[in-house]
Amino acid sequence: MTRVALVGCGGLGVPAAWTLALGGQKQFRLIDADVVEESNLHRQVLYTTPDLGKPKAARLAEILRERWNADVEVVADRLTAQNADALLLGCDAALEGSDDALAKFTLNDWAVAHPRARTAVIAAAIGRRGQWFAVTPTSSCYRCLFEEPPPPESLATCSIAGVLGPVTGQVGGYAGRALLHALAGRPDAAIGALVRFSPRGLQRTAVAVAGDCRCTAR
Ligand SMILES: [Zn+2]
């Protein structure tokens, strides 16, 4: 059985978890340090008003157990480069959907550092746009596309710039599906490619392995 870590149990993590559960995924580790806020409810649609103030990871774990009889572990923390190995120990795959740009690179590096074993899907959404990328043991990686994280002052977050609720539902769902496909060894548009979602539709950009990227050492 494959244990999937979900990094972020918010706008992207909730639809991703829902998609994974519907696709038959049974073992999860939910990693999130936030609590449910009223402004979350329009896009984090498994949470309801009585959940306000509750930790997201613990509440989502209850829902996954109740509705899908899932085996769920809860980690009330934020993923960092320093704690990644400990927080993800025992997981074979992960999906990053938090609002932390650094965590996306951390998750990529975790997947790449352990050859031929790990799969990671990295997703993001803001405003009316979103994107996702799947890293498999044989694909290019997120750093083949973005060598370094952007400087913090250049980053807009959903709490500042806002995000349209249905966009996170779409992107999180697609990201969850990409992980299901990758784990099943099936083709998916996002494996080794950046797929962008915008009001104009979907756009796929294949990413070649960069010769000087750390993933070439796999
Ligand atoms: Zn790479």
Task: Name the residues annotated as catalytic.
Answer: 158
Task: Please tell me the predicted confidence (pLDDT) of residue 201.
Answer: 94
Ligand 1 centroid–CA 124 distance in Å is: 19
Could you tell me what percent of the chain has a pLDDT over 70?
94
Ligand 1 centroid–CA 148 distance in Å is: 11
Of 3-7, 126-130, 158-162, which has the strongest mean pLDDT?
Answer: 3-7
Q: Is the pLDDT of residue 73 over 90?
A: yes
Q: Is the pLDDT of residue 28 over 80?
A: yes
pTM of the model: 0.94
CATH superfamily, domain at 3-217: NAD(P)-binding Rossmann-like Domain (3.40.50.720)
pLDDT in tens, 36-64: 999 899 888 899 999 999 999 999 999 99
Ligand 1 centroid–CA 180 distance in Å is: 21
Task: Please tell me the predicted confidence (pLDDT) of residue 218.
Answer: 79
Of the candidates 115, 39, 24, the residue with the CA atom closest to the CA atom of residue 70: 24
Ligand 1 centroid–CA 112 distance in Å is: 8
Q: Is the pLDDT of residue 161 over 80?
A: no
Domain chopping of the chain, boundaries = 3-217
